[in-house]
Structure formats: structure tokens, C-alpha cells
């Protein structure tokens, strides 16, 4: 099984609706990164969380790291076509700050 | 500030050949990481270079090797290419102590091995 599980694998959402993507680890998350990827392209940094209970927001996207530091969620409010893409969570599971382990990604489609 | 630049963008090679991929890190970043991303999967860590030294390596065979230069740009070399090496190769630069800003990724090199 994967060290970092993302759910759901894919999501089709009506424009204007809210959605949540989850990222779960069996180990402590020393640093959790959320990125967005357009198909076959590079990754665009969204947010980084490090402390248990931490929450960050950027425009209509909010990410949280739970108190036990083993799960993170990404919430998009009032989704727009520009939110479509693949969302990836990457984690430092060792505290070594050099290797990130990644989830398989969540493919988000926004229906107009 | 400039971002991360990777070259070439696409490459087709024959099984058994060797390939070199290049990466220019973002200005001010002295650490470069390389990842392999197969279709439909998350990236897999290959290795990281910090100040021209390998700083960590993932589960990849020795035929995957790298270099970092004094200007912090980097190369990924793959020898004896196999069909399974077909993937998107991503380079990411970062600055220790500023990881809250994330790793800056390039657009990747799409390698196809035939």
C-alpha cells in the first residue's frame, strides 16, 4: 500500500460547489505540501503545513493539518473552471527535509 | 526572479541508450531534487543535491546518476535506458530554511523510451 493515500482519486464537481480532498499517512507528517498539476506539466505550489492543527488559506483554497499530524485536507470553496487539474499532496515522513513522498493525486474536473 | 528551467521538454530514446536531462534552479536556491513521475502516479524521489553533493537518494538503481554545478544547475543522467524509464522527469529547487515557501518545480522533461 502507498505511504500517502489521497482520496478521492477523481472528482467531478459542478461549478460553484465546494469540495474536499484528503491526504492520509500512516506515519507522522513532518511537513505536508499541496501542489496543483496541469496534465503532463510541472507542479505549482499551493501551501505547506507543518504544525498540528495548522490551517492556511489562499484565495478560495484552504488546507488543514490535523492535530495528530497524520492527515491533511484541502478544501475549495465556490469552485471555478480554473481550479480544474490534478491535486497532489507530498510529505516529509522522516524529518530529514530532503525526500518528499507523494500521493497518487486527485483529478478534479469542474462542470460548467 | 526566474523559475526552474528544464531541457529538453521532450525526448525519444531507444532502449539501451543513455540520456542527459538538464535543470537550471531558481535564483537563490542551492538545492535541487529530481523526481520521476509515471503516467497517472505521483512523483517518485530519485535524489537531491545540495552544494554539489548528493544529499539523499531514493530507490533507484545506480544507472541513475546526477551532478550539481557551482551555479546550482543540475543534470540527471540515465544509462542503459529501459522501457520503464519512460516518464515525466521533474526537477525542483529549494532553499534550506525556506521550505515553507515550497519546492519550485520545472515543467519537466517527457522521456519516451522505445
Q: One digit per residue, pLDDT tens: chain A, 112 residues? A: 578 999 999 999 999 999 999 999 989 899 999 999 998 788 999 999 999 999 999 999 999 999 888 999 999 999 999 999 999 999 998 887 678 999 999 999 999 9
Closest CA to A73 of A61, A59, A81: A61
Q: Is the pLDDT of residue B82 over 90?
A: yes
Closest CA to B3 of B19, B22, B23: B23
CA geometry: angle at B7 spanning B110 and B1, to 5°? 120
> What's the rounded Cα separation, in Å, for the pair B91 and A42?
9
Identity of the highest mean pLDDT range in A33-42, A94-103, B84-93, B100-109: B84-93
Closest CA to B25 of B75, B69, B73, B90: B73
A40 vs B101, more confident = B101
- Whether the CB of A95 is below 8 Å from some CB of chain B: the reply is no
> What's the rounded Cα separation, in Å, for the pair A39 and A37?
6
Instruction: Tell me what the mean pLDDT of segment B96-109 comes to.
Output: 89
B55 Cβ contact list (under 8 Å, min separation 6): A98, B31, B47, B48, B49
> What's the rounded Cα separation, in Å, for the pair A105 and A7?
8
Mutation target vs A (from B31, B42, B110; most A CBs, 10 A cutoff): B42
Contact across the interface for B42 and A50, Cβ inside 8 Å: no
Quick one: pLDDT at residue A23? 97
> What's the rounded Cα separation, in Å, for the pair A60 and B6?
30
Closest-CA residue in chain A for B87? A40
Quick one: pLDDT at residue A32? 95
Backbone angles phi, psi at B41, to 5 degrees: -125, 170
Quick one: pLDDT at residue B1? 58
- Whether the CB of A85 is below 8 Å from some CB of chain B: the reply is no
Here the cell at position B31 is 538545492
Here the cell at position B7 is 531541457
10 Å Cβ neighbour count for A23? Answer: 27
B33 chain-A contacts, CB cut-off 8 A: 98-100
Quick one: pLDDT at residue B97? 81
Counting residues of chain B whose pLDDT is more than 90, the rounded percentage is 82
Contact across the interface for A43 and B90, Cβ inside 8 Å: yes
Closest partner residue to A41 (CB to CB) among B40, B48, B107 is B107
pLDDT tens-digit series, residues B29-77: 899 999 999 999 999 999 999 989 998 999 999 999 999 999 999 999 9
Contact across the interface for A42 and B108, Cβ inside 8 Å: yes
Parallel, antiparallel, or unpaired for β A10-14 and A106-111? parallel
Interface residues from chain B to A (CB-CB < 8 Å): 4, 31, 33, 35, 40-45, 48, 50, 55-56, 58, 88, 90, 92, 96, 99-108, 110
Here the cell at position A70 is 497524520
Mutation target vs B (from A39, A96, A100; most B CBs, 10 A cutoff): A100
> What's the rounded Cα separation, in Å, for the pair B68 and B76?
9
A35 Cβ contact list (under 8 Å, min separation 6): A43, A44, A45, A46, A87, A88, A89, A90, B102, B105
B3 Cα to chain A: minimum distance (Å):
11
Quick one: pLDDT at residue A96? 76
Quick one: pLDDT at residue A41? 84
| Element spanning A73, H or E | strand A71-76
Per-residue b or e along B11-38, where b marks 16 or more CB atoms closer than 10 Å to that residue's CB: eebeeeeebebbbbbbeebbbbbbbbbe
Amino acid at each position: 500500500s502507498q505511504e500517502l493515500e489521497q482520496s478521492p482519486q477523481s472528482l467531478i464537481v459542478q461549478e460553484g460547489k465546494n469540495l474536499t480532498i484528503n491526504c492520509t499517512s500512516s506515519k507522522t507528517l513532518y511537513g505536508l505540501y499541496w501542489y496543483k498539476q496541469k496534465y503532463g506539466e510541472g507542479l505549482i505550489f499551493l501551501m505547506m503545513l507543518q504544525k498540528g492543527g495548522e490551517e492556511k488559506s489562499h484565495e478560495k483554497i484552504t488546507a488543514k493539518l490535523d492535530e495528530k499530524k497524520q492527515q491533511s485536507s484541502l478544501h475549495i470553496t465556490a469552485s471555478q473552471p480554473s481550479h480544474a487539474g490534478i491535486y497532489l499532496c507530498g510529505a516529509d515522513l522522516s524529518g530529514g527535509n530532503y525526500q518528499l513522498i507523494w500521493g497518487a493525486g486527485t483529478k478534479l474536473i469542474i462542470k460548467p | 526572479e526566474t523559475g526552474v528551467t528544464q531541457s529538453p521538454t521532450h525526448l525519444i530514446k531507444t532502449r539501451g541508450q543513455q540520456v542527459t536531462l538538464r535543470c537550471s534552479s531558481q535564483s537563490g536556491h542551492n538545492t535541487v531534487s529530481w523526481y520521476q513521475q509515471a503516467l497517472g502516479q505521483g512523483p517518485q524521489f530519485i535524489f537531491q543535491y545540495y552544494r554539489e553533493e548528493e544529499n539523499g537518494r531514493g530507490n533507484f538503481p545506480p544507472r541513475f546518476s546526477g551532478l550539481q554545478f557551482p551555479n546550482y544547475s543540475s543534470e540527471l543522467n540515465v544509462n542503459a535506458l529501459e522501457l520503464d524509464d519512460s516518464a515525466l522527469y521533474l526537477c525542483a529547487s529549494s532553499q534550506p530554511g525556506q521550505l515553507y515557501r515550497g519546492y519550485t518545480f520545472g515543467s519537466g522533461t517527457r522521456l519516451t523510451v522505445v
